[in-house]
Structure 1
Amino acid sequence: MSLTATTLTDGKTTEDADRLAQAERQGLRLAIICRTVAVGAAFLWVGGTWAFSGFYPNPWIFVGLGAFTAIGIVHASVIGTRFDRWWMKYAIYLVDATGICMTFAFFPISSSGDVPQILAFRAYGIYYLFPLVAMATLSLSPRLVLWTGTAVVVGWWAAFLIVVSGMERTLSWGDLTPGAGFDAYVGVFLSPDFVGRGNRVEETGFLFIATAILALAVVRARRVFRAQVKAQAERERVAATLGRYVPEAIAKRLIDDPSALAPQERHAAILVMDIAGFTAYSTSRSPTEVIEQLNGFLAGCADVIARHDGVVIQFTGDGLMASFGTPIDSTAPEQAAIAASRGLLSVAERTDFSIRIGLAAGTVASGSIGSSNRQAFTVYGDTVNRAARLEAHGKVLGKAVLLDEAVAAHTGWDTERFSAQELRGITGKVEVFALA
């Protein structure tokens, strides 16, 4: 008795693209949440500074922070809806980068108005813009990461040039003469006219390098995600296709762990079922009616066996053979086989079939056999033969379910014990029990 697997062909699927798009939307929502939290933290920081240190901030700061928060909430609410547009995520990051950079260019450091605006670049810095690029990576979009990094760099330089263009005199590192001493360095660096163009080059250079690395990391993350989704979709497709030809449990085990179907010996219980009087039943009916009735009956039987962690190894025309304990583990294979037998009797009663069942337990050899192009899963051994002979011997004794001694020892139901029986093809006599 064996079961043959079928060769599967590859097929294209769009499920990986759909799942990736969903992950991008979820990541973008998460980025907006982080953005809102960051803006809220800035709001509390500025307000706390005002309340506890006496520093009076420009009130437009609160207006700007409130506007940033509102934009984020609106954007998060339309992500994934019919109002969502591809350009919105680029627009909101452009607004963020422009808003922060223009703050450095136009928001006075002091309300007195006599502090040079260039000091904002020295007192604070470009690190305020790094979180924007970091949050963009949550969207799993390398284009958005590069867009955000570019917007930050361009905005930072635009703000810097706006401030510098309004200065009457500027100093930079190039104004130091070779061999300049301590006083010269202090005089240039601490001068309110010092702009530090070289510092801006370093800042934006490192930021863009970090942006490129993060974009590359996102590209790799997308590839890993696609590979995982494709593998999962392929596993599901194979299981669905293979399950039409082999037991679903075997199909899943074969996909999850092919080595589990390697030839091995395990303790298991074997159930062999056959329809009594099927020849007479089929003779009086059309072939179409017989097939329809048989398919419905065997489908119900397979469901019963699956519910008790059994595996239908083979449909044998008007019957089947199932195993409990291999290839799927079972803590109590004998009890599971008995419970399944009672369920099969109920199915047979509902469909007006009369069935015979043989149950045997012991060491069973199982595994997939065959060539590299064609594989079959089978169980064999004395236990399998004994179950088959017990099913056939049920006709002799007039009993629906016969058990061997190993199965009978684990049943919680009443059994009828017969004297040792001679079973065809079995050497020696066998203790036989009938399920009451």
Structure 2
Amino acid sequence: MFMALSFLGPRDALGSPAFLLYFFFILLSILQLDARLCLFIGLVAALENFIFAHVGIDTLAPEHEAEIWRTSVFHFNRSLVLFVAGLVAGLLARQIKRQVEVSLRTVQDRDRAVRIFGQYVSPQIAEKLLHQPVDLGGELRNVCVMFLDIRNFSSYAAGERPEAVMAYLNTLFDFMIDIVNEHQGIVNKFLGDGFMAVFGAPVEDAERCAHAVGASLEILERLDRLNAAGKIRPTRVGIGLHMGEAVTGNVGSADRKEYTIIGDVVNLASRLEQATKEFQARLLISEEVRRSLHAAMPGVEDLGPVALKGQPNPARIFKVA
């Protein structure tokens, strides 16, 4: 407005489109996402416009007294519009800033979930983690634990090139991890020639046992197809499933933490996987898992109470495959 007054003169300047430049700078202030800055620019624009208008009015010749822009009320209203524009811009900037902060928090929370639970956490689990509170300091959860072991892997690895061994493991783990993820589980630990997966933590899952059994059967089915097609060396696996309460939470140092499952449920699931060798089985489940399944499972063999290594009492187990 100052430049317009200098070059155009009071009468033409007060009626020129130079007034619209104020709105341009108010809109630019929104990009800073600072509501106070927008309000400040709107206030400065309003005061500047009113002051220069007041000065310009005093310099107009008497023959212009009837013109509307010679009245203070007209320029006060125009200045008020600038102030309101700054206020609206501030509210808009604050709303945009809130949306940006929410988006950033969502990304940070998702990154945090991946850091804690590993890169193999499924998008579905990651999404649930963002909306379901999880006590990473430690909590008691009812979970179904899966242990999977590749049979005769040690003898195979001893006579193979390292890169061939890793390629073989990655071929197997690639589809196995995907299947676990698809059934709402997470792979919690890799054990060299196998892994431990958990269903029902860190996100609650009422169908944890059904999902664990479903994942196990799908893994076996996929493995059979790969074996039949000759796409992998002849491969067998053993899987053990058990359900029970476990302490879950982050364990480690300040620099490195790992989401850990602790409890007898882990030990028994591991013993069931080991027992698959003794019973020539590919999938053994505990009585707790069998009772939790609502659908009938034809062909399941009751092996009765079995003394498992490291367990004080015999456990009733079932051979599914």
* TM-score, with length taken from structure 2: 0.72
The residue correspondences of 1:34-45 to structure 2 (distance < 5 A) are none
Match of 2:278 among 363, 385, 396: 396
CA deviations over 1:244-301 (Å, ceiling 9, x no partner): 9454257777777774323111212111110111122223321210111101211211
Please tell me whether residue 303 in structure 1 is matched to residue 182 in structure 2. Answer: no
CA deviations over 1:103-142 (Å, ceiling 9, x no partner): 9xxxxxxxxxxxxxxxxxxxxxx9xx9xx959x8599457
The corresponding residue for 1:261 is 136
Structure 1 residue 358: Cα displacement: 0.5
| SS state at 1:262 partner | coil
The corresponding residue for 2:240 is 358
Separation of aligned partners in 2, 1:300 and 1:393: 24
The corresponding residue for 2:63 is 167
Match of 1:210 among 77, 84, 102: 84
Query: Which has the larger Rg?
Result: 1
Q: Is the 8 A contact 1:262 1:368 kept in 2?
A: yes
Separation of aligned partners in 1, 2:318 and 2:68: 102
The residue correspondences of 1:14-413 to structure 2 (distance < 5 A) are 140-141=30-31, 167=63, 170=65, 197-221=71-95, 223-235=97-109, 242=115, 245-248=118-121, 259-349=134-224, 350=226, 351=232, 352-409=234-291, 410=293, 412-413=296-297
Q: Is the 8 A contact 1:365 1:380 kept in 2?
A: yes
Structure 1 residue 402: Cα displacement: 0.7
Q: Is the 8 A contact 2:38 2:90 kept in 1?
A: no
Structure 1 residue 165: Cα displacement: 5.3
Structure 1 residue 361: Cα displacement: 1.1
| SS state at 1:338 partner | helix
Separation of aligned partners in 1, 2:68 and 2:253: 80
Closer, same or farther: CA 344–317 of 1 in aligned 2, 3 Å: same
Q: Tell me the amino acid that sits aligned with residue 419 of structure 1.
A: G
Q: Is the 8 A contact 2:189 2:195 kept in 1?
A: yes
Separation of aligned partners in 1, 2:105 and 2:172: 35
CA deviations over 1:306-350 (Å, ceiling 9, x no partner): 000011110111001111111122121111111011111123321
Closer, same or farther: CA 138–289 of 1 in aligned 2, 3 Å: same
The corresponding residue for 2:4 is none
Q: Tell me the amino acid that sits aligned with residue 221 of structure 2.
A: S
The corresponding residue for 2:3 is none
Which has the larger strand fraction? Answer: 2
CA deviations over 1:7-49 (Å, ceiling 9, x no partner): xxxxxxxxxxxxxxxxxxxxxxxxxxxxxxxxxxxxxxxxxxx
The corresponding residue for 1:37 is none
Q: Tell me the amino acid that sits aligned with residue 422 of structure 1.
A: A
The corresponding residue for 1:416 is 301
| SS state at 2:247 partner | strand
Closer, same or farther: CA 305–137 of 1 in aligned 2, 3 Å: same
Structure 1 residue 433: Cα displacement: 0.6
Q: Tell me the amino acid that sits aligned with residue 248 of structure 1.
A: V
Q: Is the 8 A contact 1:141 1:218 kept in 2?
A: no
The residue correspondences of 1:7-18 to structure 2 (distance < 5 A) are none
Q: Is the 8 A contact 1:140 1:221 kept in 2?
A: no
Q: Is the 8 A contact 1:417 1:434 kept in 2?
A: yes
| Percentage identity across paired residues of the two chains | 23
How many residues matched?
Answer: 286
Separation of aligned partners in 1, 2:183 and 2:253: 32
Q: Is the 8 A contact 1:137 1:218 kept in 2?
A: no
Runs of 5+ unmatched residues, structure 1: 1-97, 104-125, 171-191
Closer, same or farther: CA 355–228 of 1 in aligned 2, 3 Å: same
Structure 1 residue 397: Cα displacement: 0.8
Q: Tell me the amino acid that sits aligned with residue 412 of structure 1.
A: A
Closer, same or farther: CA 332–245 of 1 in aligned 2, 3 Å: closer
* TM-score, with length taken from structure 1: 0.55
Q: Tell me the amino acid that sits aligned with residue 198 of structure 1.
A: S
